[in-house]
Copies of this chain bind each other. A is one copy, B any other.
Amino acid sequence: MSLRPFFDPKGVAVVGASRERGRPGYTLLKNLISMGYRGAIYPVNPNVNEIDGLRCYPSVSEIDGDVETVVILVSAERAVKVAEEVAERARKRGDVKAVVCISGGFSELNTPEGRERERRMVEVLRSAGVRLMGPNCVGVIDCYSRFTTNFDVDDYPAGGVSLVSQSGALATALIFWARPFQKIGLSKLISIGNMADVDMVECLEYLKDDETTKVIGVYLEGYREPRRLFEKMRQVSQVKPIVLLKAGRSEVGSRAALSHTASMTGTDALYEAASKQCGVIRVRDVLEWYEVIHALEKQPIPKGGRVTVLTHIGGPGTLTVDRIGTSRLLTMATISERGKSTIRSMVAPTATVCNPEGYIDLTASHTEELHYRVLKVLFEEESVDAVIQVLGHSMFLNQRLMAEKVHAAFEEAGKPLGKTFLNVVAFDESLPEFKLEMERRGLPTFPTPEIAVAVLEYMLWYARKRRALADAPQIYPIPERSEAKGFGSKAVLIENQAYPILERYGIPVAEYRVVGSEDEAVDAAEKVGYPVVLKAQHPRLVHKTEAGAVALNLRDPRQVREAAESVKRNVIAKLGEAPTGYLVQRMIGSGVEVIVGGLRDESFGPVVSFGSGGILVELLRDVTFRLAPLSRSEAREMVEETMASRLLRGFRGEPEKDIGSLVDLLMKVSDLMVNESWIRELDMNPVKVLEKGCVVVDARIVSR
């Protein structure tokens, strides 16, 4: 069933309607009327006959007209009974399609009774083909159909923003914030509550095709099937941006794992990884959530990162340039010589033109007309992707005229060329008329330089990411492929057991032989080539280095033999038994050490990890994640994100390493992690990246 009846029902019943002003059951009716909802409204309350002229019904079953949606405001116990009535009516009359249950007292209580009530309600409604939103929510607002089940917000201006939120308070906070200066126009607000039936994925799917929705804001606390959610987000992000505020950054990782890489995987790192992978703009805090949504509704996403700053107040102008200077994505634009001389011919001699590049301070000698003329030059510059104008109170400007002139410059020059235009109003409170006029005309204003620049960074990140999304592999569903493991649960497979599995996927392992005796070890060393590493093998031997069972950098037969004997003595001393054999492996002395791994998260499934080797990963947690399967460009991004990339590109005059082969390796690990679903953790530490190729020199696999 489409979610349409939640947003545009032909008739609505409000169970728990009230005559008492200030009660939800009264304000909801009032809001339906003040919004201008065009369908029929049926208040339900057995104790009253009418509310403000609307006829009131004793129960849902006695409503004579067609009811497509029922809103429930009564106590949890009563709500279940109402659901039963609704189901009966749906079966008989076939009119009811949707229930919005505002009431709390269900699974969010974390009690058996609460959970049972919720289960029962879903079951009853589902049996009659009726969909449920909530319970424990503030429901929906649709500013186009003019339908609402929300008692907190009355009439609100229509626009391009839709919100899906696991907290009703947070979604309404955004629109109360935006209201006085019309910062955002709303398409749909969805407070999704306990998601007993209708869930976030369905809502996103609906909003993807919703013509009036231009940008989607999501507030998320947790989701049982994150992979399903993010696959949907990836599809949506190709069409329109999603701005995600996700709680749980500081959540301590829920699982203790054997390998380093896995132990660093708090769930939040995977939400972060999935957001990057799916083009979801994940912001850091509430203010960014507000302002990024605000900017995306009103302005085009930039084509590049070259920014020019126009101001008449030096302090806030300087801070804007300063913040751009710290950005990894943005740079100050270089204005053409022609552009510069045109601007110089317009401004006062006291003005600053392009010092530093792309920065123009008109100083106090400015007029509305001057701003208009300079803006037009800037908008027409080919080398400019975005313009930030920083304004303050000025005795020399008329606020309304200024807004008109600024708007005209954008419409005439910037809009046709798709430039992004953001305004900082440094004297927030002293330019109210200017702000309101700008926002009304679709030109967003921001309270500080720093937030405007941060917003532009997010927009550009999305602009760049979006292009790659179409080619990315699907992350949901991924079939469970192989269960053929032949190892027990939580078995730890070390090198000689792990290597053949890697080799099956074409992952290059440093050449090795497993042999039974000292003589064979010498033969093996001759074959793999000196220098070699020798490691004693024994089923009970876990911490080899600590047990003195490893010898490095052996350069001739004598050294191999001596090492084998010494290692044997150590193992006997440790375990009371001789080694069962020796692993002889070519020693790779050069190259940059990195760590490549995989893990299977309980919610996110197969994941690929990549990080710097040695001390960097341990001290800095310099490691990044992506869900498998991944695309080549994602694999490349993983390498670029870490400190390791600087070492690989040739640090301190070292020759550049073969990053291409490392990307190949990550793709193979992705493949392996998807296919070998019995693997819980894979840890290749280190992998040596050489000038040509890369090679695994130690590995471990833990089964599920």
Contact = CB atoms under 8 A, between A and B. Distances in A.
A152 interface: yes
Interface string A350-387: 10000000000001100000000000000000000000
B286 A449 contact: yes
A26 to B, nearest CB: 10
B429 A322 contact: no
B447 A167 contact: no
Contacts of A620: 620, 643
Interface residues of A, number: 70
A2 interface: no
Contact of A287 (B325, B450, B651): B450
Interface in A246-264: 247-251
Contacts of A316: 167, 169-170, 173, 286
Contact of A448 (B287, B430, B618): B287
A92 B395 CA distance: 37
B169 A651 contact: no
B393 A249 contact: no
Contacts of A618: 651-652
Interface stretch (A175-183, A337-345, A603-611, A683-691): A175-183
Contact of A428 (B176, B284, B643): B176
Contacts of A427: 169, 172-173, 176
Contact of A249 (B314, B322, B616): B322
Interface string A163-200: 00111111011001101100000000000000000000
Residue in A23, A169, A221 with the greatest tally of chain B CB atoms within 10 Å: A169
Interface string A92-114: 00000000000011000100000
B429 A350 contact: no
B315 A221 contact: yes
Contacts of A285: 319, 323, 448-451
B249 A325 contact: yes
Contact of A619 (B152, B167, B647): B647
B286 A176 contact: no
A167 B322 CA distance: 15
A170 B22 contact: no
A354 B350 CA distance: 61
A392 interface: yes
Given A169-B315, A180-B429, A427-B176, A250 B104 contact: no
Given A287-B448, A364-B104, A170 B315 contact: yes
Contacts of A392: 169, 172-173
A27 B104 CA distance: 57
A12 B535 CA distance: 90
A179 to B, nearest CB: 6
A439 to B, nearest CB: 14
Nearest to A221: B318
A47 interface: no
**Nearest 7 interchain pairs by C-beta:** A167-B315, A250-B325, A169-B313, A285-B450, A170-B315, A286-B448, A176-B429
